[in-house]
Chain A
Amino acid sequence: MATLRIGTAVLDGTGIARGYLKVGDMPDGRPMQIPVLLAQGARPGPTLWIHGCVHGNEACGAFVVHRLMRELDTATLSGTIVALPILNITAFRSKARMSPFEGFSGGDLNRAFPGKADGTLTEQMAHAIYTELKAHAGYLVDLHTAMTADVRWALFPNAPGEVGQKSESMARAFGFNSTLPAPIDILAGSAMMVAARDGIPGLIVEAGGKGPAFTAALVSDVVERLRNVMRQIGMLTGTVAQHGPLTYFSNFAWVRAVQGGLFQRAVQCGERLKAGTVLGHYYDLWGQPTGEALSPQAGVVLAIHPGPIMARGETLVHIGLDPREV
């Protein structure tokens, strides 16, 4: 078995190794480095790359990676796991979506792949991460959250041929009811889309909300679904659980708030919407109702703003369009 090396994590043979991958420099010159775990099974098999916290305040994904790796027995594993629980480490420390050291470009790491070796901080981070991903990954799972604890949906690259087929089989083994076969022309610069173009099947999981807005039960559920993906791709033995028909969408629509104020949502994630369904209620500083937010489109709620306050232009609701059972 060849030596596996990512950053300072080095693994010869079966077992688990821990280390760090350098993704940049801090303003004081110390290395900006992110945690890496490598696990090699007793038998050969594919390499599954899993990462979390592309957005720093989406901590649920880190807890999922951590639990998966703590509960992993490499004696029963076929193949290799490369796990990076916290990609955007300086954003994570700031409990923010983007790094505080990002200057001008906005800093959304999931729009910066495959990265640029001499670009902005976030582009250089993306480059350091994606170089390893492209070299090693057989499959990719990218863990995200939306805004509230009840978020549960997934998307896979609906790429032509084998990449799309393998991605869909991962999504079906993961089995969240709300699933988007993502048109290949959306989410440019996301790790999933870039990897799909490079022939790597992938899946984005959206589970839980920002910061502490997730439960231990959700973490356990996602970990079990990931183990089912690993059964599907031949990394774990055992029967693959069948989740039955899923709800597919044609695309999604981001709906921005065109009114600000105190806000109280009226819908839950997973709920069906018609055009005109009341999404929530706005109030002024004195508690008087100042308007209702209505859904501009029919579909299924993928994410909804939790309030309690909202400025214009924030994401009000994220809708899965044209739901159909497949």
Chain B
Amino acid sequence: MAPATTVIRVGTAEAAGVGVTRGELRVGDTPDGEAVTIPVAIVRGAGEGPVLWINGCVHGDEFCGAFIIHEMLRTLDATSLSGVVVALPILNITASQRGQRMSPFATFGFGDLNRCFPGNPGGAFTDQMAHAIYSPLRQYADYFIDFHTALTPDTRWALFANAPGDVGRKSEGIARAFGLKSTLPAPMDILGGSSMIAAARDGIPSLIVEMGGIGPAFERETVLEGAERLRNVMRHLGMLAEKPTEHGPLTYFSNFAWVNATRGGLFERAVQCGERVDKGTLVGRYIGAHGDIVEEVKSPHAGIVLAINPGPAMATGDVLVHIGLDPRDT
């Protein structure tokens, strides 16, 4: 919790009193020597309360999160807020400008920002970016939410750091307040280098939200819904006064399985996100260049579809389907 007298400083955004402060955080330099800066908005409430830190576009083409964060910021009234919201809607700005996952300045295989946390001030471009972002996050954040998308507009799931003790319990609390039906209590040994796991190890309860698809593949309704679920987390944390909505039992998983394509071609999916699959359920069809159906792809696992490749074309090794394992209602 940030005492009312403490100035919160993230880059050029300095929040000393009640209200909204906007600024930029320098995360690197371009090859021509210009500063790479990312947007920071700090909303400081009239009441005391926790610091909720929210990130979007860790992967540059996952814009739905930025739009959710923006929607929430535009509708947030600092006078009715207890605590502080620190929002960085577009982390990987040079990737976002190009509409791609990783920065064009990333070198030698260190391009996935969500595998680089807590970062390294003497590392590769993306390591240095992670370091610049994670340092103030660790300093200020009491709770952390990281917005992602998968591949298609119907993506809707979340995962929280299933850490021992208080951190895990509080992470689960924000996951339940966010309330997407498909939710993974993430084992602490997966997603090494993600900001969620790094923050949880540093004692910060954390949640990753996966809503919408890459690029323009998301609906306005998803943005509005994501913003409302975010406000519900803030109610749960006592940052907004209303009573939080109860979402009822969620479907938890033991883990997830990434299934990569072992052949290439045109592809048509046969399942939707959230759908139950058995081992052997048809998940899609490969189509040859002449239009012949060359293979029906069966799910190698039972579970629930978290993400599915939309096609229309896929090379070997692309993510075919992402499956939540051992679903159980809790």
Contacts and interface: CB of A to CB of B under 8 A. Distances in A.
B73 interface: yes
B145 to A, nearest CB: 16
B69 interface: yes
B99 A309 contact: yes
Contacts of A288: 22, 74
Contacts of B70: 262, 283, 286-287
Contacts of B310: 212
Contacts of B292: 18, 70
Contacts of A307: 63, 216
A37 B290 contact: yes
A309 B97 contact: yes
B291 interface: yes
Interface stretch (A61-69, A123-131, A136-144): A61-69
Interface residues of B, number: 39
A59 B64 CA distance: 23
B287 A66 contact: yes
A201 interface: no
A95 B96 contact: no
A148 B312 CA distance: 15
B150 to A, nearest CB: 12
Consensus secondary structure, chain B interface: mixed
B89 A287 contact: yes
Contact of B266 (A66, A214, A264): A66
A57 to B, nearest CB: 9
A308 interface: yes
B289 A35 contact: yes
Contacts of A66: 266, 287, 290-291
Contacts of A211: 215, 312
Interface in B242-292: 266, 268, 287-292
Contact of A309 (B64, B96, B268, B293): B96
Consensus secondary structure, chain A interface: mixed
Contacts of B97: 309
Interface string B286-304: 0111111100000000000
Contacts of B99: 309
A18 to B, nearest CB: 5
Contacts of B313: 59, 92-93, 95
A66 B90 CA distance: 39
Contacts of B312: 59-60, 62-63, 211-212, 214
Contacts of B77: none
A85 interface: yes
Nearest to B151: A212
Contacts of A217: none
Nearest to A19: B290
Nearest to A71: B291
Most chain A beta-carbon neighbours within 10 Å: one of B63, B70, B96, B310:
B70
A275 interface: no
A285 B218 CA distance: 18
Nearest to A263: B216
Contacts of A93: 313, 315
A202 interface: no
Contacts of A60: 312
B81 interface: no
A96 B96 CA distance: 17
Contact of B74 (A65, A148, A216, A287): A287
B268 A308 contact: no
B66 interface: yes
Contacts of A308: 63-64, 66-67, 215-216, 218
B220 A264 contact: yes
A86 B22 contact: no
A180 B97 CA distance: 34
A62 B266 contact: yes
A285 B39 contact: yes
B41 A286 contact: yes
A270 interface: no
A85 B41 contact: no
A42 interface: no
Interface string B31-71: 00000001101000000000000000000000110110111
Nearest first, the 8 A-B pairs at minimum CB distance are A287-B70, A66-B291, A285-B39, A212-B310, A59-B312, A306-B216, A35-B289, A308-B63
13 contacts: A18-B292, A35-B289, A35-B290, A66-B266, A67-B291, A70-B293, A86-B289, A212-B310, A284-B39, A286-B39, A287-B41, A308-B66, A308-B215
Given A285-B89, A308-B64, A308-B215, 7 more contacts: A18-B292, A62-B291, A67-B291, A214-B312, A262-B66, A285-B93, A308-B67
